Structures are given as structure tokens and as C-alpha cells.
Amino acid sequence: MYECFLEIAFEAELNTKEDPELLELAPELCNEDASTRATAVTNLRNMIFERAECKPHRTDDAFLLRFLRARDFIVPRAHKLLVRYYTFRAEYPHLYKDVDLWGLMKVKSAYEGSMVDRPDIGRLSIFRFGTWDPNEFPVDDLIRTGMAITEIGIRQPKLQIMGGTVIVDLEGITLRHAATLTPTIAYQIVCLMGLVTPTRIKSVHIINYSWVLNTFFYLFKKFIPQEAWSKIIFHGSDLKSLQQQIDPECLPARYGGTCRNHVPIGVWLQKIKKYRDEQFDREMKALGYVVKE
């Protein structure tokens, strides 16, 4: 029964249809007003063409809604995010262009995600970079995978509206990992947290942090916007502190939780490959990815 539930959840990851029940929550979660939504989309589209600060590969309603939802339907903020998104893509094309999407399965459990989403938490994602062996593949592949996960996830209206919560688990981080960290890599990792992508990050929880990692963290600090600090919570190694912020029903057993529905990104990508359709392939190829059969 449990395996059957997971398969249904995996298949639903490719759902790009608007859910009427979820739209009822949209006013509270992302300031979306059904009566003014079309006007907001039109205003954003007009701003794109009038200001000409970027050249989006898409300007259809569904695509622009991602940016409006990520910025509470404040059109100038949504436009600023969209410009950041395309500027980032232009600066770091190697993170997208000609990247073999299914080849990213090798990242395995460096990222995890929950297959159950709740309005208060959204999608719970876990970064476990300490599980990565730098000898197996370069740090760029970690960033490529994070960006691909984001592009696939934000296709879902559910995740556009609900947003997500992130746990950054620093257990296992060593000097070998730190040696791969440059200011550019630090910036790109911060960008995974919604700085340049149309994602709604509710909060970021740093677990298993110690003073030994102070130098490691300093590189990230300068790239984190001031307004984002209120969403970042340090727990040290205190699981009770984490559980006070995130319902244990949403946490995997390693953090004292009871949720069984966390899956490593390698498995998740296998299921995306299994259930994808032609529309998915077209959209990902338009972003520059190689999508093999």
C-alpha cells in the first residue's frame, strides 16, 4: 500500500494543472486574487517588453504566474526576480546548457525531498552535501542538480503557491568539501534558496552547524540579502529546536520525525523520467537540458 501511495505521488509530480481547492488557499499563501490575476499577468508582461531588461524564452500566463506567486503578486518585485533569473542563466550557462538531465541521478542523496506537502511547510527539501564524495563528481554537478530540481518542481502550481521549507544538514562536511567552495559556488548555492528562482522559501533551517564551519559559512553570508536573515534559523545539533519549528510529522526519522515519505533525489529523478510526458520534454529542452529517452 505504501509503495502504491508513493507511485501515485511520483506521477503527480508532473501535474501542471491548477487545483481549485489549492486556489482557495492562494490569497493567504501568496496574495493571489482571482479577480485581478489576469491583470497582474498582463502588467508583468507589459513591464517585460517596456523595460527590455531581459529576453524571456516564454511569456505565457502559466510561466509568468510562477514569478508573481513567488513575489506575492507585486508586479515590480516579480519583474525584478525574472530579470535576476535570466541574468543568472546568462552568467552561468554551464549549469543548464547541454546538461544531461538523467545523468544527474548520480547525485543520489545529496538532496532529499518529502512527497507530502502541507500549506504550513510546503515542500520540505533537505540539502545533505556531507554525503557527497568530491572524488565522484565535481561540485558543479551539485549546483546543476539543485537548479534542475527547482525547474522541475516549479512547473507544479501546487509548489508555486505553497512554496517550501529547506533543511541544510551540515553533518559530514569536511575540509575536502570546503576546499571545493569558492565565492562563485557559494553564490550559486544561495541562489538555490530562491534568490534568482521563482520559488517561495518559507524558512531555512541549518542543522549540525558548529564553530568549525564558521569560515565555510562566511563565504555564504555576504550573498544572503538582509531581508532573508529572518527566515534562517540555526539549530546547532539540537533536534528539539528543529522539531519546534517543523512538525515532526514532516521530518524523517534521523531528525526525530515520523515521516516515511522522504526520497533521495536520485530516486526522484528516476520517477520523473518514468512518468514524464512530451510537454515536460519540450519545456526542459527549451531550458537547455538534454532529455534522453
C-alpha 51, offset from chain centre: 28
The pLDDT profile of the chain, 293 residues, written as one tens digit per residue, is: 677 778 888 888 999 999 888 899 999 999 999 999 999 999 999 999 999 999 999 999 999 999 999 999 999 999 999 999 999 999 999 999 999 999 999 999 999 999 889 999 999 999 999 999 999 999 999 999 999 999 999 999 999 999 999 999 999 988 888 888 888 998 998 888 888 999 999 999 999 987 667 777 777 888 888 888 889 999 988 899 999 999 999 999 999 999 988 999 999 999 999 999 999 999 999 999 999 98
Residue type, 150: T
- pLDDT of 258 reads 94
- pLDDT of 219 reads 76
Query: What CA–CA distance (Å, rounded) separates 65 from 32?
Result: 10
Cell 488557499 -> residue: 25
Query: What CA–CA distance (Å, rounded) separates 192 from 128?
Result: 14
| 181 DSSP assignment | -
Contact by Cβ (8 Å): 261, 123:
no
What domains lie within the chain, and their CATH numbers? 1-94 (1.10.8.20), 96-283 (3.40.525.10)
Contact by Cβ (8 Å): 263, 73:
no
Angle value at C-alpha 238, between 210 and 262, nearest 5 degrees: 100
Query: What CA–CA distance (Å, rounded) separates 194 from 236?
Result: 23
pTM: predicted TM-score of the whole model, two decimal places: 0.94
Contact by Cβ (8 Å): 293, 148:
no
